[in-house]
Structure 1
């Protein structure tokens, strides 16, 4: 699924790996059986509409769930954005009230909201992630209201925007090597420090520094502008 510019996340991961001399092979996973998933170092889920999520869930359940669980057991990093985030939870409720099952990989549940949560968003990342800068920025556009169970921790706390449900101040969720979030626009180009966290986990080692002066200046400008409007 890719309707929110999620390919920008892939481009960011590939570029930041290659700039460090790391060879990268990207294998799209379409409907049906897929070869090589058991050897992947990193998995990414983009966003889609309810109809696409139904189709994708049926395919994942039939062809890929065991491989996904095996990957998480091996601590392969998985990044799930927006619709992909909802899909890896226990269930998500569509606008017409239909509850669609999720993959149950992340201890979250998503109910339908009465209105859409739309706009720029700024988070203070969970201190356990040790990100620098500590902020995450992005754009959210979702009608789901997501609640975390005891098995998941939030990606961060909302400083400006709606977040998971607009009430408890959380955004995103983490469980094991899986990170889910509503932030897109795309997420990783705006947050190179988060991209490097995911890459470091995929490679199993610390990364050498890059000159991110321009990227982080843009990140801080977006954060300042969004917080000023909050």
Structure 2
């Protein structure tokens, strides 16, 4: 029988590590708020989220992270980032993605994970080709895709604010969701974003995660499931198998894990303000029945 930690020993929280790609260059429209939301939602459950910035010139070692985030920037900022992403971080990022690490890429970051971005002026920016998609800016006279947006996702809604001149077109890539109100990828085909394995590209700013707590928790759950892939969960969400060995190894007691990880995986939080903000965007878009359904569901 494995020995469990003494209850009077110091208990350390579960830890996840998030790599923030290009925090200085790609941080338009408050996208850093996505990381603040992830950190807070982890903290309230006794999970420590460590955030490591990865700038131009930094290599990406995939085994050092549990999640990755890349935000959006202006075209002039994306050019040096595109080169660095391809030359310095491409191999590590591809390895992380193929190993099902959750990755959230917003706006410019989303564009750079497709095949290429063709700006209004200047040469094409080569992307990693994670998504079978491409983006083209149709020139300064073409109207921007700007304003509040709501999409359907997994039987629920995601809301945000979009502001992009480029139009993204999907090849075989699966969209993140279908546009209910707004422009989405290109204001033509009602698609928004793209998905490959556990990598999610989207144009939703605003920030995305503060107004969509269900999507934030979904990403956290993916990270936990992947980190503890050699474990199995019971109906109550507690680790089976070599659970006690794992608990001692990461410096947490079984009791602490029980408080932190429960079915479906994360303990619910008091999210009334978050859902009111979500519903407010739906109301601004004239989606009153959807807003009422959201409030009714989460108040009950």
TM-score, with length taken from structure 2: 0.71
**Do the aligned partners of 1:126 and 1:155 also contact (CA within 8 Å) in 2?**
no
- Corresponding residue number in structure 2 for 1:8: 33
* Structure with bigger gyration radius: 2
DSSP 3-state at the match of 2:144: strand
Counterpart CA distance in 1 for 2:61 and 2:135 is 31
- Corresponding residue number in structure 2 for 1:125: 153
Superposed counterparts of 1:75-90, under 5 Å: 75-90=100-115
- Corresponding residue number in structure 2 for 1:44: 69
- Corresponding residue number in structure 2 for 1:136: 158
Is 1:201 the counterpart of 2:229? The answer is no
Is 1:227 the counterpart of 2:286? The answer is yes
Per the TM alignment, residue 228 of structure 1 is displaced from its structure 2 partner at its CA by 4.9
**Moved beyond 6 Å, runs of 4+:** none
**Do the aligned partners of 2:60 and 2:93 also contact (CA within 8 Å) in 1?**
no
Is 1:98 the counterpart of 2:126? The answer is no
Residues 197 and 47 (structure 1 numbering): CA distance in 2 closer, same or farther, change over 3 Å?
Answer: same
Unaligned runs of 5+ in 1: 128-133
**Do the aligned partners of 1:159 and 1:227 also contact (CA within 8 Å) in 2?**
no
Counterpart CA distance in 1 for 2:175 and 2:287 is 24
- Corresponding residue number in structure 1 for 2:275: 216
**Do the aligned partners of 2:83 and 2:126 also contact (CA within 8 Å) in 1?**
no
Unaligned runs of 5+ in 2: 1-25, 226-260, 289-300
Deviates more, 1:168-177 or 1:206-215: 206-215
Counterpart CA distance in 2 for 1:68 and 1:74 is 10
Counterpart CA distance in 1 for 2:177 and 2:129 is 21
Counterpart CA distance in 2 for 1:63 and 1:97 is 22
What is the RMSD computed on CA atoms of the aligned residues?
A: 1.6
DSSP 3-state at the match of 2:286: helix
What is the total number of aligned residue pairs between the two structures? Answer: 222
- Corresponding residue number in structure 1 for 2:44: 19
- Corresponding residue number in structure 1 for 2:83: 58
The equivalent position to 1:183 in structure 2, one of 204, 210, 217, is 204
The equivalent position to 2:192 in structure 1, one of 159, 162, 171, is 171
Deviation per residue, 1:35-75 (Å, 9 max, x gap): 65432000000001112111111112221111101101210
